[in-house]
């Protein structure tokens, strides 16, 4: 990667890792409070801390890491960014950063303790929403860089499929732009005027619906960069090939199509939405599972083909041939493993009747700590261990590689404790988003306490892993020996077939996206607005 593009990428990674530190601290305190053994000092509120933890890790850290990774991945595979593209990238970075600081200050002042989902009826200071708007606009500007680089590559190479990593970054960017229209609408047209006192009331159901229109694709916005590494980077690291370039592209297109019209599976227990439309969105949710199953198949195929090419025999002999001592492989691999129960939990959540058992319990928190905080984040760590030295002109030494492996394993152990205990306590009915309480000595609540202690044990192990990853990050950014670290980009296995150009027909795919969204959301939205409550003076409240 060109050093000028590397600098832009690194700027994003600095913010992401600072976010990891702050959010990780908040997470540790969170688990300690819930264990009942610790009280927050200096008047810090539980929900203030929970908001800080969620916003900084789920929104800030991820978005910066993803934007930085996609920008350098495009620079590496579609060619160095032009000056105009790079400058646009910097504008996006600064817009996001100003917005992030504004939102963070409001949270620290306890003016925005509205959780990372921030929908009504919780209300924050107007500056929190202005900050969020800047983050979204900044991410669009950075997304424009990916689009510009893609268009320029296609012009230079007519009739050719774009490089796989560039293609994948583009799909994730397009999905992000379509999805963020929902959250931008609720922030601009509902939350901001409401918090400024310009309107007295806003429709809570509409606000939640617009949020979840964005909230579910948000989780795939986190997931797809991990999939980029699993499909393209990991095969090269192990010395193998990508099972199928076209299959990888198709799975990304399926994510683009099906990840947005499914927000109702977060609202299955909410009133105001006809069950028929919830059912439709549950069906679409099951469609979006397919590309993940394709990914699992393709990864197994890559690993097995590689192992057998090295002479492995028997059903699982190929496992022995994988490079277990290489942090760049092992850490994302642990992420993949964790995604098997993580994904299974998602399928449980999406199944209407079972959702009634787990909704709003700490099971859901367990689910997303397995998916985003284990599968995705471990993969991001795995990426950092070669990408940071690649960008800073340094190398990952053997000693650092060992430390990185220890870090990944500690993270996995911490998350197993924490997320396992959350799943179990959730099935016993423990609510999510609540501080420690004995609920007046209720027998049911007493059953949750051992699991809450297990969460605190997990949280403490995780915090040690965070200190380790920060140490390694600082080492790789500033102190590791100078040298060249590879940016591994895999090639497709033989026979290499040219990916069908229909996969790059964006008018077609975006057209289907719009149709699916219109189908899944138009009538429920009209219903929501028509069925809005009547005010005391006899007129519609919104």
Rounded to whole angstroms, the Cα distance separating 373 from 147 reads 28
Q: Is 423 in the active site?
A: no
Identify the active-site residue in 243, 252, 255, 368. 368
Q: Is 220 in the active site?
A: yes
Identify the active-site residue in 125, 208, 369, 423. 369
3-class SS at 540?
Answer: strand
- Closest separation in Å from C-beta 338 to ligand HAS: 8
Rg (C-alpha) for the chain, rounded Å, is: 23
Reading the block at residue 305, the tokens are: 């083909």
Rounded to whole angstroms, the Cα distance separating 337 from 72 reads 27
Candidate list 249, 265, 321, 394; residue touching ligand HAS; CB under 6 A: 265
**Residue 295, interface with ligand HAS (CB under 6 A)?**
yes
Rounded to whole angstroms, the Cα distance separating 435 from 46 reads 7
Which of 333, 487 has the CB closer to ligand HAS? Answer: 333
**Residue 312, interface with ligand HAS (CB under 6 A)?**
no
- Closest separation in Å from C-beta 20 to ligand HAS: 16
Which of 86, 266 has the CB closer to ligand HAS? Answer: 266
Which of 7, 433 has the CB closer to ligand HAS? Answer: 433
Question: Number of helices (H) and strands (E), helices first, in the chain?
Answer: 18, 0
Helices (H), 428-541: 443-474, 506-530
Site for ligand HAS in 117-136 (CB under 6 A): 117
Q: What is the 3-state secondary structure (H, E, C) of 345-371?
A: HHHHHHCHHHHHHHCCEHHHHHHHHHH
Candidate list 255, 339, 380, 385; residue touching ligand HAS; CB under 6 A: 339
**Residue 208, interface with ligand HAS (CB under 6 A)?**
no
Identify the active-site residue in 220, 231, 252, 303. 220
Q: Which residue is nearest to ligand HAS (CB)?
A: 343
DSSP for 390-409 reads HHHTB---HHHHHHHHHHHH
Segment contacting ligand HAS by CB under 6 A, of 135-143, 199-207, 233-241, 285-293 = 285-293
Vertex 229: Cα angle to 223 and 235 (nearest 5): 140
Sign of CA dihedral 200, 206, 207, 210: negative
**Residue 336, interface with ligand HAS (CB under 6 A)?**
yes
**Cβ–Cβ < 8 Å for 120, 191:** yes
Element (H, E) at 138: helix 126-156
Q: Is 201 in the active site?
A: no
Lay out the site mask for ligand HAS across 358-377 (x = CB under 6 A, - = otherwise). -x----x--xx--xx---x-
Contacts to ligand HAS by CB under 6 A: 117, 219, 222-223, 265-266, 285, 288-289, 292-293, 295-296, 299-300, 319, 336-337, 339-340, 343, 346-347, 349-350, 355, 359, 364, 367-368, 371-372, 376
């Amino acid at each position: 990667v060109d050093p000028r593009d590397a600098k832009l990428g690194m700027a994003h990674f600095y913010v992401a890792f600072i976010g990891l530190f702050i959010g990780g601290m908040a997470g540790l305190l969170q688990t300690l409070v819930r264990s009942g053994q610790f009280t927050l000092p200096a008047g810090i509120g539980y929900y203030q801390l929970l908001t800080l933890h969620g916003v900084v890790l789920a929104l800030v850290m991820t978005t910066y890491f993803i934007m930085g990774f996609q920008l350098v991945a495009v620079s590496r595979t579609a060619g160095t960014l032009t000056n105009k593209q790079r400058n646009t990238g910097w504008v996006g970075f600064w817009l996001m950063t100003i917005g992030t600081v504004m939102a963070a200050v409001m949270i620290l002042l306890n003016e925005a303790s509205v959780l990372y989902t921030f929908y009504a009826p919780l209300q924050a200071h107007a500056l929190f929403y202005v900050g969020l708007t800047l983050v979204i606009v900044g991410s669009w500007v950075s997304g424009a860089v990916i689009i510009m680089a893609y268009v320029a590559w296609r012009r230079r190479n007519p009739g050719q499929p774009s490089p796989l990593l560039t293609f994948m970054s583009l799909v994730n960017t397009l999905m992000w732009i379509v999805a963020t229209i929902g959250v931008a609408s609720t922030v601009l047209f509902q939350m901001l005027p409401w918090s400024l006192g310009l309107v007295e009331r806003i429709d809570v159901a509409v606000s939640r619906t617009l949020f979840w229109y964005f909230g579910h694709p948000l989780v795939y916005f986190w997931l797809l960069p991990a999939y980029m590494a699993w499909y393209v980077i990991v095969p090269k690291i192990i010395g193998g090939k990508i099972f199928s370039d076209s299959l990888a592209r198709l799975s990304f297109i399926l994510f683009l199509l099906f990840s947005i019209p499914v927000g109702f599976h977060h609202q299955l227990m909410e009133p105001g939405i006809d069950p028929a439309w919830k059912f439709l969105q549950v069906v679409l949710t099951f469609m979006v599972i397919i590309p993940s199953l394709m990914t699992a198949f393709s990864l197994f195929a890559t690993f097995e083909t590689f192992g057998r090419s090295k002479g492995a025999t028997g059903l699982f002999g190929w496992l022995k041939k994988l490079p277990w001592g290489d942090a760049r492989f092992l850490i994302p691999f642990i992420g993949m493993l964790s995604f098997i129960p993580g994904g299974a939990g998602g399928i449980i959540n999406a199944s209407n009747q079972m959702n009634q058992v787990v909704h709003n319990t700490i099971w859901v928190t367990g689910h997303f700590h397995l998916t985003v905080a284990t599968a995705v984040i471990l993969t991001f760590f795995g990426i950092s261990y070669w990408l940071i030295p690649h960008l800073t002109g340094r190398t990952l030494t053997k000693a650092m590689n060992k430390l990185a492996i220890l870090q990944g394993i500690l993270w996995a152990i911490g998350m197993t404790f924490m997320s396992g205990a959350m799943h179990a306590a959730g099935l016993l009915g423990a609510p999510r988003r609540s501080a420690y309480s004995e609920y007046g000595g209720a027998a049911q609540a007493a059953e949750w306490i051992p699991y809450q202690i297990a969460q605190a044990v997990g949280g403490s192990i995780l915090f040690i892993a965070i200190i380790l990853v920060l140490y390694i990050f600082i080492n790789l950014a500033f102190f590791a020996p100078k040298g060249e670290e590879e940016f591994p980009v895999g090639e497709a296995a033989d026979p290499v077939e040219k990916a069908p150009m229909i996969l790059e027909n964006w008018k077609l795919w975006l057209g289907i996206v719009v149709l699916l969204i219109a189908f899944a959301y138009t009538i429920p939205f009209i219903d929501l607005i028509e069925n809005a409550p009547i005010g005391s003076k006899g007129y519609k409240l919104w």
